[in-house]
Amino acid sequence: MAIKEDDPYSVSQRLDIQNILQGLLAKRTLVRLDIPGHAVSIISTLLDVDTRKGTLVLDNASEDSLNTQLLRAPAIRLQGMLDRVMIEFTGPVQPVMHDGRPAFSMAWPEQLRRMQRREFFRMDVPASNPARCLIEAPTLPSGKATFPLANISAGGLQLIDRSELLASHAVGTIFDECTLDLPDVGELDVSLRLLRQTRLAQDGDKPLLMVACRFFNLPANREITIQQYVGTLERAVLARRWGNE
């Protein structure tokens, strides 16, 4: 992530960066680690911020294959919410031991972005308990199609489009007739506005089309329901992490 000098969201003062990192640590904030342009991401937390060395320590993944890919990447992106403000920066990670367990070490960034956003923190949807979205539209080959969710927030979601059924749809396209099927919640009627399409590289396979959408004219009661579902996903991640400490 190259930060422009005139970027209004850029933070470059070392003391400010230190305070932000220590805030993420103190609040045990969940952060997202991913490789930009690749279908690799994990949810992590800060374990330590070393002010003397200028390094931070992060939880690694439970899957060795994900850890290997993150360690091989020239840079990974870290994103997390601190007081409803998105913190984002990039840098390489190195293997390290922390309290007798494998973890990631990362140098403090020289710059980071601090962006005020309305959306709540995005949570990955576990493949073991998938959520899906049915889109009904005459532009689809069969008039409708169901897509698994990669992640979701109170502001929108990202769909996995393995058959590239949405590839020809323009940014800004509105799908009025959509049905979210969320585990332990049920079905919710929503409208979606297509934001962007990204092809993510996969090891030994063709790129995977990911379609980001924003909820369009979402009623307040359904936003609350979705927010509660996102909270359930977050608590499940925290419970697994704290249970291993």
Model pTM score: 0.63
According to DSSP, residue 171 is labeled T
Average pLDDT, the chain: 88
CATH (one of 1.10.230.10, 3.40.50.300, 3.20.20.70, 2.30.110.10) for 10-116 = 2.30.110.10
pLDDT at 54: 93
pLDDT at 242: 63
Question: Domain spans of the chain?
Answer: 10-116, 123-225
pLDDT at 90: 94
Contacts 24+ apart (CB under 8 A), 19-24: 20/82, 20/87, 20/112, 20/114, 21/46, 21/49, 21/56, 21/108, 22/49, 23/82, 23/83, 24/80, 24/82, 24/87
pLDDT at 105: 97
> Which residue from 229, 152, 138, 144 is spatially nearest to 178, judged by alpha carbons?
144
pLDDT at 143: 94
Q: Which residues of the chain have pLDDT under 70?
A: 1-7, 116-120, 241-245
Report domain 123-225's class: mainly beta
In the numeric block, the tokens 């199609």 are attached to 145
